[in-house]
A and B are shown apart, each in its own frame.
Chain A
Amino acid sequence: EVQLVESGGGLVKPGGSLRLSCAASGFTFSSYSMTWVRQAPGKGLEWVSSITSSSDYIYYADSVKGRFTISRDNAKNSLFLQMNSLRAEDTGVYFCARLFALPAAPDYWGQGTLVTVSS
């Protein structure tokens, strides 16, 4: 069974940083591209970033480019999102998901982790 478990969310002040993690199990993590998608409270879904299986290609939404960094550790079956210079509009639930097609077509999703940016 594919499982994706996010962690690392929390309350942070504007301008602060957070690092999200996603632990994967139930599939060969090193064979799949992965992605982060976020959802602001009461709003729709927004693609954030994707990374290929070997980290050869990385993609970002314009809204986070230069502030967020996606990475992965295939030896530890883990995906990460380093978020710097956080803004109020970055508030929301961040989902880790496995991709079945590039650049952004998830099949399995984690349960999400809440990031709140507020003073």
Chain B
Amino acid sequence: EIVLTQSPDVLSVTPKEKVTITCRASQSIGSSLHWYQQKPDQSPKLLVKHASQSFSGVPSRFTGSGSGTDFTLTINSLEAEDAATYYCHQSNSLPGTFGQGTKVEIK
């Protein structure tokens, strides 16, 4: 099973700040890494697929990068509505695992 480790677990940031969340895979997964945003009591929403492809309708401040084992989700100029938990997810091999989540709080 491929283990995904996100860091940090929690981020407390002010609006307009730049946010960086990392996801490290226990073995190489190419670009089969996707990022999701989940707000309280809502279902997850896809932000970035295949490491760096923005999903339809997602604000341009959300960008992804990386390949192999190290990946990054960047939120440029954080907005208050971005308060949420962010998950990375790999589809390279079964089982399709998720990172433990990174909670972004607004100061």
Residues of A with Cβ closer than 8 Å to B?
A: 35, 44-47, 50, 59, 61-62, 95, 100-112
Contact = CB atoms under 8 A, between A and B. Distances in A.
Dominant secondary structure of chain B at its interface with chain A: loop
A27 to B, nearest CB: 13
Chain A CB count within 10 A is highest, among B42, B95, B97, B100, for: B95
Nearest to B55: A107
Contacts, number: 58
A62 B43 contact: no
B32 interface: yes
- Name, among B42, B87, B89, the residue most crowded by chain A CB atoms within 10 Å (CB to CB): B89
Given A45-B44, A50-B96, A111-B42, 19 more contacts: A44-B98, A44-B99, A44-B100, A45-B98, A45-B101, A47-B95, A47-B96, A47-B97, A61-B95, A62-B95, A95-B43, A103-B94, A103-B96, A104-B89, A104-B95, A106-B44, A107-B46, A107-B49, A107-B55
B96 A105 contact: yes
Contacts of B87: 44-45
